[in-house]
Amino acid sequence: MFHMPKFEKIWLAIGTGSLVLFLLVTGVMAVAMGLNPPDGLATTIEPDQVEAQAPFDHPGLEQIGPNEYKATILSYAFGYDPNTITIPVGSTVHFEVTTKDVVHGLHVPGTPTNLMLVPGHIAEYSQTFNEPGEFLFLCHEYCGIGHELMYGKIIVEDTV
C-alpha cells in the first residue's frame, strides 16, 4: 500500500461526494419528478419532401382561436418562409418550424423562443407576445456564407 497525503485524501473525498450527490439528484429528478429525456416521438418528415407535405406546403400564419395563432415556418438556405408575421398584442403564437436543407436555428432575442432546426424534424414551441413592437427572429446556427442574412420579424401591433 502506498502513502497518500492528507490533503489529497480530502480532495478525493470531496470529488467522490460531489459525484454521488450529482447522481442522487439526477436520479431523483428522473424517477420521482418524472423529468426524462424525450422518448423519440418527435414528428419527422423526409427532408426532400418537406415542401410537398402539409403544413409546410403552405407556410404562413393561421388564426386558430381568439388571440391564438399557428405560425408554420419553413427555413432554407439564408431565409425563412414567411419572413414576416403580424399579430395583435397579447397573442400566443404556436411555432411549427422545420428546414429542408441544413441545420438552422430560430431564435427570438429577449424571449425564451430558441429552436434548433434539423432537416425533416418539426420543432414546436409556443410564445405569448404581451408587448407591442417588432421582434427579430434569426438563425443562430451557422449555415453557410450568407448566414448573417437569415432573419425575419414578428410585428406585434397594439390593437387599441
Domain boundaries along the sequence of the chain:
1-37, 47-157
d(CA 14, CA 92) in angstroms, rounded, equals 47
- pLDDT given for residue 39 in this prediction: 53
pLDDT of residue 27: 85
Q: Do 31 and 23 meet the contact criterion of CB atoms below 8 Å apart? A: no
Cβ atoms of 38 and 122 closer than 8 Å: no
From 19-28, 39-48, 122-131, the region with the lowest mean pLDDT: 39-48
Distances (CA, A) of 151 to 23, 84, 148: 41, 9, 8
Q: What is the pTM of this model?
A: 0.72
Residue 48, amino acid: D
Q: Could you give the angle at the alpha carbon of 98 between the alpha carbons of 131 and 50, nearest 5°?
A: 140
Q: Which three cell numbers stand for residue 18?
A: 460531489
Q: Residue 28: exposed, middle, or buried by beta-carbon count in 10 A (0-12, 13-18, 19+)?
A: exposed
Cis-peptide, bond into residue 132, ω within 30° of zero? no
The answer on pLDDT for 34 being more than 90 is: no
In this predicted model, what pLDDT tens digit does every residue of 121-156 receive, in sequence order?
A: 899 999 999 999 999 999 999 988 888 889 999 999
Q: Which CATH class is domain 47-157?
A: mainly beta
H or E element that contains 16: helix 6-31
**Long-range contacts, stretch 35-38, CB < 8 angstroms, 24+ apart:** none
